Structure 1
């Protein structure tokens, strides 16, 4: 296989779940035999699946109580139904995988786990999917995909925050008039349409910058943003239902981390006290100096990749996130506060 892994990293989750398409069943094992990094990631994912399934003989209630395993039969049903992510360019692969993960989780929401289960804010499961319809709809409009959200009273003259709140509230209110199955079908159709666009498959088409929700970024980065939010809300739904949700594969997690670091650097600006920021749990454990370039580093901050994403996603606070700190604690806390301020999910 070629040096760029021929798209194998985005297939590893499906490989771990035993849900590869027939065309990939031979190619992926052949690549793993000759690629140490992909093989290590594949083993990590397979171990995650083993933990999700739980040790043999654990009763269903005990597995649900410890929060780390799906009951026998529940996972098996999810695996049978779990689709593989569509073939897209590298920038859209994390979103494709996040859609695949949420699709599998939503198949568990029926009967035993009601749609009305509270999830986050004042939303239940269906409301959370409705919120994702509205959020994905922002990108859909930019790339010419017909949005599934209803008409909104928001206007172009509104500040983007006010307009966004209006659109998401209108979408959730509309979805509450429909069945959960209709809401999920609308979300699925819209996400599939996004992944079928030229912008999802052609890096050059996705390189042009456009403004969405107050932030001007290349379309490729907006796809990463959609992956980030879809995964965060999948975690929210999983937690509410008592089902563990694994983190994104390392390659996708690294893409999300690097986008979040760029946004954090912009939020801090060039005058902030400089801090050496290290993220562990993604390839190479990357480091950045954030803040001023004209003075010595005042402090050091280390976060696990998943914890950093949960902080930026509003699921950790500056004081609750597990962290390693050396040096000027005030400078480090400033970085943590700015990271938390990025959350709008």
Structure 2
């Protein structure tokens, strides 16, 4: 017989689930792990969360993994039920640590980050003020590195500063208006010379002028040009009763008279001085120009008409200083060209005065060529002060204007009604013609009317040049 069954025992209770181990608050960032090739990529599937399986992220770090909190274990969730992936290839993107994002700021400033890195960095900059300030400084630095402008100072900066200072701070003793051009041009040339070294002072310079209907030239140095200017300025100094730089003891002991013409004075200076002259010539030249300006400033109104002899002709002091300003500009440009340095023309008002002086001297130069048989004869006798044939000289650009040059007599009056020809020239180009730096054939941009009159006037303008 089978034994009678006893009471059914109660079902066994499931074993208690131990409490989950606490997760440390500061976990190493997965992007800092050495065994990850791509810091953005994490494995797909259930282990991607690091919460299950012995091969999860936490076990790889040697840290305890949290236990499953479900009362009854169930089958693992299918991979399709896992947290949806994002990014390329279905891989999730995890935010970078502050350290990594900060290290990317330099590449971000240079626009060298990938699109994903750029998005992450810029999102971080909206939340982290220190990184935002650092990013701003880096972007400013990149802007300086990528600047295409030259870091060299503007070569005309000194001239502009000097002009501004002189314009805003008038002299205690005002310089007469007719001496302002000489004052400005000597100051500009001195500013050019100020930083010259010995090599620049010895640089070769070719002086050119127009003589016997052809171009003449003479070679010298930068120092030799300044000596030439000082020697010819001595004509104005002698007329004002100042010291003449050529009245040296050597010349007096030999009983030689001081030359009166600009060319002879220059030859005497070069002969008696150390040749080639050195940079020591700048000091006496600048002191002489300052003395001339001070003297005419104190002399009063009557000084403008004081006669200054040039040997073969004479000019009133106001025109003589304007002539010296003209030559100072022309030879300043010669020096600048020799040392490969920019040199601007005079300002418009000063250039206009120089053009006006040349236009006023043209009738006398034309009459001198006519006396020498180098120009066509006058057409009829014209009484002084009466209108005669004239040539319309149209000078364009800054300092330009209209002048009517008498053709038959220097004492005649040029007027538009008796104009038989017209010449159009740029202001600087006309001054280059008068200085002998441009030939008459190259000078006139526009010509109309009597061809013979045009040729005579252009040749007379070039013949006014001298060394």
For the criterion TM > 0.5, the same-fold answer is yes
Q: Distance in 2 between matches of 1:312 and 1:195?
A: 25
Pairing partner for 2:352 from 243, 249, 254? 254
Q: Which residue of 2 aligns with 1:147?
A: 244
**Aligned residues between the structures:** 275
Quickly say closer, same or farther: Cα 1:200–1:326, change in 2 above 3 A. farther
Quickly say closer, same or farther: Cα 1:128–1:84, change in 2 above 3 A. farther
Alignment of 1:275-290 (within 5 A): 275-282=391-398, 285-290=401-406
Q: Distance in 1 between matches of 2:191 and 2:285?
A: 13
Tell me the SS of whatever aligns to 2:440.
coil
Q: Distance in 1 between matches of 2:457 and 2:235?
A: 29
Q: Distance in 1 between matches of 2:460 and 2:225?
A: 26
1:179, distance to aligned residue in structure 2 (A): 6.7
**RMSD over equivalenced CA pairs, Å:** 3.1
1:249, distance to aligned residue in structure 2 (A): 1.0
Q: Distance in 1 between matches of 2:239 and 2:402?
A: 32
Q: Where in structure 1 are there 5+ consecutive unaligned residues?
A: 1-54, 60-70
1:287, distance to aligned residue in structure 2 (A): 2.5
Q: Distance in 2 between matches of 1:115 and 1:217?
A: 32
Quickly say closer, same or farther: Cα 1:323–1:123, change in 2 above 3 A. same
Quickly say closer, same or farther: Cα 1:219–1:169, change in 2 above 3 A. same
Quickly say closer, same or farther: Cα 1:180–1:265, change in 2 above 3 A. same
Quickly say closer, same or farther: Cα 1:322–1:244, change in 2 above 3 A. farther
TM-score (norm 1): 0.70
Q: Which residue of 1 aligns with 2:378?
A: 271
Q: Which residue of 1 aligns with 2:203?
A: 117
1:297, distance to aligned residue in structure 2 (A): 3.0
Q: Distance in 2 between matches of 1:135 and 1:56?
A: 47
Q: Which residue of 2 aligns with 1:62?
A: none
Pairing partner for 1:312 from 431, 434, 437? 434
Pairing partner for 2:149 from 51, 57, 67? 57
Pairing partner for 1:299 from 400, 416, 421? 421
- 1:95 to 2:182 alignment: yes
Q: Where in structure 2 are there 5+ consecutive unaligned residues?
A: 1-146, 207-217, 368-376, 380-388
Q: Which structure has the highest helix share of the two?
A: 1
Quickly say closer, same or farther: Cα 1:75–1:249, change in 2 above 3 A. closer
Provide, for residues 244-291 of structure 1, a one-character-per-residue CA deviation record: whole Å limited to 9, x for no partner.
211111111111111111111222239376322111224572231431
Ranked by relative contact order (alpha carbons within 8 Å, sequence separation 6 or more), the top structure is 1
Moved more, 82-91 or 331-340: 82-91
1:336, distance to aligned residue in structure 2 (A): 0.4
Q: Which residue of 2 aligns with 1:195?
A: 293
1:137, distance to aligned residue in structure 2 (A): 0.7
TM-score (norm 2): 0.53
Provide, for residues 42-88 of structure 1, a one-character-per-residue CA deviation record: whole Å limited to 9, x for no partner.
xxxxxxxxxxxxx97248xxxxxxxxxxx526545666778849641
Provide, for residues 188-211 of structure 1, a one-character-per-residue CA deviation record: whole Å limited to 9, x for no partner.
011111111136763322223342
Pairing partner for 2:455 from 310, 333, 337? 333
Q: Distance in 2 between matches of 1:287 and 1:298?
A: 13
Q: Which residue of 1 aligns with 2:343?
A: 245
